Structures are given as structure tokens and as C-alpha cells.
Amino acid sequence: MDYAREQARTLAPAKLESSSQPSTGPVRKIRVRVYADSDYREQVVRWRSSVVSQLQRASAVMQGPLGVVFELESTREWAHRGVEGELEGSLTALELTDPGEDVDLVVGFVSALKLFSSAQHELGMARLFGRHCVLREMGNPEEVRAIMEGLIHLPQDERQSLYEERKVHKETSVFLHEWAHTLGAFHVRNSHWMMFPNYAPNQAAFTPQTLELLKTSLRHASAGRRDDAAARAWATELGALLASTSSPDWEGPEKESVVEWLAQVREGRAPLVAHQPQAPLPPEDRRRFDEILALEKAGRVEVAAQKMEPLARRHPEDFLVQRLACYLGTRVAPKLPATREKCEAVAGKFPSEPAPLFLLATLSLQQGQHLEAQGHLVRARQRMEVNPGTPPEAWGDLAAFFKETSSVTWAEQALQKAGNDARTEPLRTWARQARRWKALPVDVSVSGVAVEREGEFIRAAKDVEDSLDKGLAAKAQARIAWLKREFPRAPVLHVLDCEGHLRANRKGPAKAACLQAVAAHEEAVQAHFILGWLAVKSGPHEEARTHLERVVALEPVHKQAWQMLAEQYRAVGMAEALKTLQGRYREQFAEELR
């Protein structure tokens, strides 16, 4: 039991650090107004006392390093019900319910998630430099069950105590994470710190650099949220701090976005808060809007579009209405010039929003206008880059669109900001495969293909392969000539020459061209496969194995390479290597390698 108790204690959260060097300055009171929505009030019986406890714990952590004490101004019931897995709508609703100009922070508490998540954006949400945040109740049933099962060998009272420790740690850490966002703090790259994008029980403090950022913002926040000149002063000092401070935990696209945003604020080209909520629709029009959404979801798109027209005319300044009107147009009449004009008008009227540009890109792609679509996506990316509040999901959307234009590098760059999840992994796989099959190195000086022309390049190379497969030699040669003129240093030219020679049964020139391809780009998977195949036919087993093993490593779904490699192992009696290969094949394809 002692051993079990020690093991269970490893599940205890880290002690939230106050500071080894307490603040010697005056106490800075952060006045907090709290709203609790109906779901939260149902889930937390004594919710007011729970809120008081949370603020007291947060004060105990921040009074030392920053002299900050969170003071409860009032608690209010909130006639709101959130949506599972979505906090943006709740945050906007809170901003519209109470601008909070007479307090420092407005907090809205909403229901717990039904399923477990450690992603900070699913546990809480705040806008950079805003004064509002929403937080979930942290008593997630699935998480409770998992923790209790991990503590099964402890007595019930000890289990309950340790669970409570973890829950209050999570409540405090997530609250401080979101509060720090309202002062301009961005995510860091080390999971040890509280500003990491995912919550973990081992997080106990802010980085020293984040604390300096918070100190700077605390001096400016009160006036900076009320006065444009004070906002510019805030942006100036904070921008100088970020420019002069470097840390491996800090560097990355999130910091770059904040630096760029602060520069725009400093120059008077942007407001301090990246997003301002718009006034809600009148109740009757909100009902119509919801009805239109329901019709679209049910597949009745034409009816939805008809009902949308009068609503769009009545609310030309409402972005959500105008975006939906544009979207329905792309569904009902994508080829009509009026649809494009409508979406272009929305993109121009709302210059900070990327969504209309995504819809314009969709129209262009439907008409085969890849370069035009690419232009819309580049504009969308520019809008996203200067908005530090752009969520990871939006970057995932952008990466998916760049995939449709075959813009590999731009897709990879968007994926760096999109996080890692089940949705982005196929896009990462596509990017790797595109580089390997089209022999496209990352380094432009090696590839000979400018980033903005990757789509043209990849589509032309694919045209060549399709033409060769269909026996259209003249068409293939015309496209190869264009590729050689436009991208004379591209390694894929050697691969295409190799394929052309092989199809004409010129094995010697084919081998020479493929060797040139792998010399130019070692990950040129098709060149390795052809070299392996040629070696199988001519007999040098070691050479065949070398290239086929490389194909399997670079492109694990290439079944023919696995099968040919297995035959090579059998031919020279490499039984152990064959057994290992068969096991890997079974894991990859859930079938036996014969």
C-alpha cells in the first residue's frame, strides 16, 4: 500500500509558484466582474464561493511576482448557454452583455466539456489585449473517472483529496493563462510553463520573459483600453520589450504576430483589440438567420439562399450575415459573375476577415483558376498574420486551401501554426509526399522553384506523368519543354527524363537520369523506385535492396516496393530481414506480405 500511495502521489500537480522574490511595490488590484451561465450554475452548487476561492488562489500566485490581487467586484447570473467544444461564441456573447469599462476583467464561467481535453483554447478563451475571458468548469466527468482509476489503490478520502488538488490547480492555471492573454501574453514553446498551448499538471509559473511582459502591460492596461494615445504608448513600450528580449521558449510565429500587431497599433493603423464584437441581430432576424443555417445544413441550399437575400439587404454591416450570403452564393450559383462580385464586396468591406477570401478561392478553384485562388489565399494569410487572435483551426483551413493550389511551402508554413491533431496530419503527409514524388527540396536554391510558383510547377509535372500514362508522348514532351524553360534546375526534370527513357526501353539512359535525380534530391522517391526496379531486372541484389529500402522508408504506402524488396530478401536468404519486413508490412497494411 505504501508503494501504491507513492505511485499515486506522482499524479499530484506541481505547486503553483508565487515567487522566490516577492514584489516590493504596491498591491495592484484587478477588479473582476463574474458571470455564471445557466449550465455552470447547474454544475457547481455553491458557485459564488467557488469563484471567490479561484480568485484568492490566483491572487496568492501573482501577488509575489507582480503585486497583483484579484478583487471580486460582483457575481451575476448569465442567461446564456454555450455550445459544446466552442468558446468563441460565448466570448462574443459576454463582450456584448457587458463591455466592462468600469472593471479590469470580465469573466464568464460556462459548462464543463463532456469529453476530456487539455487544449487551452477548449478550456478557456480570451482576446489579446481585451478585458474579457470565458472559462469552463473543470469537473470533466471523463477526466474525473480517469484520475480516480489511477488512484484506485488509495483510500477514498485520499483519492478525493488528490483529485481536488488537481482540479484547483487546473482552475487556477487556466484562469491565469487567459488573464495573461488579455495583457498581450502569447503562447510559449516549452510545456513546463503556464502559457503553453496545452494545460498540464506540471505547469507552475510564467516564464521570466512573460512576467516582464505582464509587468509592462499592467502599467498601461487601464488607460490603454480607454484612450487611443495611451494604447499607442502601450504598444510602443511592449513592442520595444519584445524586440529586445530573446528566449527559445518565446520565439516563433505567435510572437511575430504580436510584434506586427503592436507595430500597426503604434502607427495608428489598427485598434489595440484585434476583434470588436458587433451588435446582435434583432430577435426576429436572429431567428431567420438560424432558420437559414438549418436549411443549409439540411441540404436545402436554394431555399436558404432565397431567404438570405432580404436579410442581407437589411444588415449590410453585419459580417456573419454577409459571409453567409457569400457562402450560399458559392453553393447555389458559383459560375455567376454576381456571386463573385458579392464575395469581393464582402472581402473589401471587412478588411480584417480572411473567410470571404477563402470563399473567393473556392470559386476560383471550381473554375480551374489556380493562380487566382492562390492570390486570394495569400491575401487571407496576410490578414491572419496581423491578427494575433487567429485560432489554430483557421491556419488548418488555410493549409487545406493551399494544398488545393499545390502550394507546398505555404501549406507547411500554415501547418506550423495549426497545431497537431487528426485533421492536420493528412496535410503534413501530403506535403511530405509532394516533395518526394515531385523531387522538390525545401531549399529554393536547390529546387530552382520559387515558392510562389510551386503550384504551377507541380501541376505541370503531374500533367507530364498523366500524359505519359495515357501514351500522349507529344503532349508530355511539350510540357517537359515548358518545365525545362521555366525551371531549368528542378531535380524532377531528371525523374521525368528517367521515366521517358524507361518507357522507351532505354534502360541505360534511364538509370543515368535517375541517378542524377537522387544526386540532386536524395528523397526523389520515384527515381529510387526505378533504380531499384532496374537493379532487380539486371541482377545486382545489393543495389536493388538499397533503393527499395529507401522507397519503403520514404513512401510507406508503396506496396509494390515492399513486395519487390521481400523478393530480394528471399533471393539471398535474408530470413531475419524478411521477417522484420513482414512485421512492418502487417502494421502498415493490416495484411500479410506474401
Q: What is the pLDDT of residues 190-232, one digit of tens each?
A: 888 999 888 888 888 999 999 999 999 999 999 988 888 999 9
User: What's residue 5's pLDDT?
Assistant: 55
Average confidence (pLDDT) over 40-51: 92
User: What's residue 292's pLDDT?
Assistant: 93
The burial of 165, by beta-carbon neighbours within 10 Å (0-12 exposed, 13-18 middle, 19 or more buried), is given as middle
User: What's residue 383's pLDDT?
Assistant: 84
User: What's residue 143's pLDDT?
Assistant: 63
Average confidence (pLDDT) over 557-572: 92
Question: Over the chain, what is the mean pLDDT?
Answer: 87
Q: What is the pLDDT of residues 287-336, one digit of tens each?
A: 899 899 999 989 999 999 999 999 999 998 888 899 999 999 999 999 99
Structure pTM? 0.63
Cα of 379 vs its chain's centroid, Å: 18
Percent of the chain predicted with pLDDT > 70: 91
Q: Is pLDDT above 90 for 258?
A: no
E strand or H helix that includes residue 473: helix 473-486
Average confidence (pLDDT) over 164-171: 87
User: What's residue 8's pLDDT?
Assistant: 53
User: What's residue 277's pLDDT?
Assistant: 64
Cα of 300 vs its chain's centroid, Å: 31
User: What's residue 1's pLDDT?
Assistant: 46
Q: Which of 151-165, 240-254, 527-541 has the highest mean pLDDT?
A: 527-541
- Residue scoring higher pLDDT (417 or 116): 417
Q: Are strands 28-37 and 68-78 parallel, antiparallel or unpaired?
A: parallel
Average confidence (pLDDT) over 131-141: 86
Q: How far apart are CA 472 and CA 488, in angstroms?
A: 23
Q: What is the pLDDT of residues 355-409, one digit of tens each?
A: 999 999 999 999 999 999 999 999 999 888 877 677 888 899 999 999 999 999 9
- Residue scoring higher pLDDT (383 or 30): 30
User: What's residue 19's pLDDT?
Assistant: 46
Q: How far apart are CA 163 and CA 144, in angstroms?
A: 8
Q: What is the pLDDT of residues 442-476, one digit of tens each?
A: 998 888 999 999 999 999 999 998 988 888 888 98
Sheet holding 105-110, edge to edge: 68-78, 28-37, 105-110, 132-136, 124-126
Q: How far apart are CA 403 and CA 180, in angstroms?
A: 35
